[in-house]
């Protein structure tokens, strides 16, 4: 035993030739349809319709939804590959997909057959856009602290509450909403939360679009639910089990965020290498200087450790090795987002004065990373969670 692993062969990465082919086609898409639009999109805080349409035509919106519901039936590693490649060019766009995938997964995993048949085809085709609304003004890390309520009235639930920082919040056609169907039990606060699939037209109102430092094209919004009537069949899974479903949804999303960070690190690393060869100082390319070489090798180390951790975690997820996955996903998320930040900072330093200009695109990467370190569980929470889960799952001891 190589604690906490059972054996060394648990360190495997299941990337295949198909993943490489997917990567190539996503890169082609990103360079052709996203790259020319990044600056304008971030400035105008929106995505071009053409890029969304192309992504939909490629099947990216329904990548991991089974073909019987209109999706591509791809595996989890395919989501990571796609997320990495898109983030190499435009992280805001990969965030649009991330929350859409979260909605698709929740419907697939917890929805009844009737709900799946009704909603998944248009989610998979990208005809309808999704979002995932859990965070509230007074409850983010503390998922069990949500106060939105869902009251059963005959064959409907009536939802009231507020959700904040919701990606796609002002544009999603469908949203996953968590709400309390019973008050918190002081001994088990997580109990009594339920999960719903809610159509925007049923009365979800946008309170405001929130301006953020990074991911500026991404639509982050505060939404309000005032007597929103949701048919009982749109309760996902069992009443009262929404906390568990939400946490599982974040587990799914966490490594996708890690892959976003790998894409950012890749982008900054490529810029660092190119610039070191092209820029001359003292009549020599700066790549000749050992302090620049150090930046290159340390950045490659950060990039590769992040990529290995991310795809290893993804492989564990695919193999349904959840004990190992839960720990690996937290490690991957905090490591990759912070390693990417180091790579970007080194690149900015190597760029000298040009490093702080907006036109290099490097400062955008830093701003985006600050959000990646925050959403889907802050990095501090990941550090705590990795240790707690390690004690619990591998030593049988509940700490903290």
Ligand X SMILES: Cc1cc2nc3c(=O)[nH]c(=O)nc-3n(C[C@H](O)[C@H](O)[C@H](O)COP(=O)(O)OP(=O)(O)OC[C@H]3O[C@@H](n4cnc5c(N)ncnc54)[C@H](O)[C@@H]3O)c2cc1C
For the chain, where are the E strands, in sequence order?
A: 130-133, 149-153, 156-167, 174-180, 193-199, 204-209, 220-231, 235-236, 280-281, 284-285
> 147-166: which residues touch ligand X (CB under 6 A)?
165-166
Between helix 290-318 and helix 242-278 the angle, nearest 10°, is 150
> 200-229: which residues touch ligand X (CB under 6 A)?
212, 215, 220
How many residues bind to ligand X according to rule CB under 6 A? Answer: 23
Three-state DSSP at 355 gives helix
CB atoms within 10 A of CB 142: 12
Core vs surface per residue 310-347: b (16+ CB within 10 A) or e: bbbbbbbbeeeeeebbbbbbbbbbbbbbbbbbbbbbbb
CA 220 to each of CA 79, 168, 210, 215, 223: distance values in angstroms, whole numbers, following the listed order: 22, 6, 5, 9, 10
For ligand X, the closer CB: 70 or 104: 104
Three-state DSSP at 224 gives strand
User: What CA–CA distance (Å, rounded) separates 68 from 174?
Assistant: 21
For residue 212, the minimal CB distance to ligand X (Å) is 5
Tell me the window of 12-20, 125-133, 306-314, 356-364 that interacts with ligand X (CB under 6 A): 125-133
For ligand X, the closer CB: 286 or 381: 381
For residue 379, the minimal CB distance to ligand X (Å) is 7
CB atoms within 10 A of CB 238: 12
State which of residues 92, 135, 234, 249 lies at the interface with ligand X (CB under 6 A).
Answer: 135
For residue 377, the minimal CB distance to ligand X (Å) is 6
State which of residues 87, 374, 385, 389 lies at the interface with ligand X (CB under 6 A).
Answer: 374
State which of residues 197, 316, 362, 371 lies at the interface with ligand X (CB under 6 A).
Answer: 371
Ramachandran class of 355: left when φ > 0, alpha when ψ lies in -120 to 50, beta otherwise: alpha
State which of residues 202, 322, 378, 393 lies at the interface with ligand X (CB under 6 A).
Answer: 378
Ramachandran class of 151: left when φ > 0, alpha when ψ lies in -120 to 50, beta otherwise: beta
Give the contact letters, 71-110, x = binds to ligand X (CB under 6 A), - = no. Answer: ----------------------------x-----------
CB-facing half-sphere around the CA of 236: CA atoms within 13 A: 27
Catalytic: 376?
A: yes
Choose, from 84, 85, 136, 376, the residue flagged as catalytic: 376
State which of residues 5, 224, 304, 384 lies at the interface with ligand X (CB under 6 A).
Answer: 384
Tell whether residue 132 is a contact of ligand X (CB under 6 A). yes
State which of residues 41, 140, 192, 242 lies at the interface with ligand X (CB under 6 A).
Answer: 140
Three-state DSSP at 210 gives coil
Residue 372, H or E segment? helix 362-372
Angle at 242 between CA 238 and CA 243, to 5 degrees: 140
Query: Could you tell me the two tokens for 101?
Result: 């995938």
For residue 170, the minimal CB distance to ligand X (Å) is 12
State which of residues 148, 167, 194, 255 lies at the interface with ligand X (CB under 6 A).
Answer: 167
State which of residues 30, 37, 82, 134 lies at the interface with ligand X (CB under 6 A).
Answer: 134
For ligand X, the closer CB: 210 or 308: 210
Tell me the window of 22-30, 56-64, 131-139, 361-369 that interacts with ligand X (CB under 6 A): 131-139
Tell me the window of 33-41, 188-196, 379-387, 388-396 that interacts with ligand X (CB under 6 A): 379-387
Compute CA 193 distance to the chain's CA centroid, rounded to the nearest angstrom.
23
Three-state DSSP at 377 gives coil
State which of residues 87, 330, 375, 389 lies at the interface with ligand X (CB under 6 A).
Answer: 375
For ligand X, the closer CB: 131 or 192: 131
Give the contact letters, 280-319, x = binds to ligand X (CB under 6 A), - = no. Answer: ----------------------------------------
Nearest residue relative to ligand X (C-beta) = 140
Q: Catalytic amino acids?
A: 376
Q: Which residues bind ligand X (CB under 6 A)?
A: 99, 131-135, 140-142, 165-167, 212, 215, 220, 371, 374-375, 377-378, 380-381, 384
């Amino acid at each position: 035993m190589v604690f906490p692993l059972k054996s060394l062969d648990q360190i495997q990465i299941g990337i295949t030739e198909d993943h490489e082919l997917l990567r190539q086609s996503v890169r082609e898409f990103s360079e052709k349809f996203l790259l020319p639009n990044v600056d304008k999109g971030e400035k105008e805080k929106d995505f071009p319709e053409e890029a969304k349409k192309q992504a939909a035509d490629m099947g990216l919106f329904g990548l991991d939804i089974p073909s019987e519901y209109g999706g591509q039936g791809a595996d989890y590693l395919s989501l990571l590959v796609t997320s990495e490649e898109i983030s190499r060019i435009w992280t805001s766009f990969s965030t649009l997909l991330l929350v859409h995938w979260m909605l698709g997964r929740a419907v697939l995993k917890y929805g009844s057959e009737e709900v799946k048949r009704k909603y998944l085809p248009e989610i998979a085709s990208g005809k309808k856009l999704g979002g995932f609304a859990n965070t509230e003004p007074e409850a983010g890390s503390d998922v069990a602290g949500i106060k939105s309520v869902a009251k059963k009235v005959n064959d409907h639930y009536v939802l009231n509450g507020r959700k904040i920082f919701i990606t796609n919040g002002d544009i999603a056609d469908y949203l996953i909403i968590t709400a309390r169907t019973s008050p918190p039990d002081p001994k088990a606060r997580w109990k009594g939360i339920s999960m719903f699939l809610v159509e925007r037209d049923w009365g979800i109102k946008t309170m405001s679009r929130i301006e953020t430092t990074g991911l500026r094209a991404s639509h982050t919004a505060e939404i309000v639910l005032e007597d929103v009537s949701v048919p009982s069949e749109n309760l996902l899974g069992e009443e009262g089990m929404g906390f568990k479903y939400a946490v599982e949804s974040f587990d799914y999303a966490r490594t996708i965020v890690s892959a976003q960070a790998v894409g950012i690190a890749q982008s900054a690393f490529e810029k660092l290498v190119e610039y070191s060869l092209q820029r001359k100082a003292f009549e020599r390319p700066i790549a000749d200087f050992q302090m620049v070489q150090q930046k290159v090798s340390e950045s490659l180390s950060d990039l590769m450790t992040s990529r290995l951790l991310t795809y290893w975690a993804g492989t564990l997820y695919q193999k349904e090795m959840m004990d190992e996955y839960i720990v690996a996903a937290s490690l991957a998320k905090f490591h990759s987002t912070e390693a990417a930040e180091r790579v970007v900072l080194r690149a900015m330093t190597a760029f000298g004065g040009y490093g702080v200009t907006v036109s290099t695109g490097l400062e955008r990467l830093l701003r985006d990373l600050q959000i990646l370190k925050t959403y889907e569980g802050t990095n501090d929470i990941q550090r705590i969670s990795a240790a707690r889960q390690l004690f619990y799952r591998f030593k049988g001891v509940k700490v903290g």
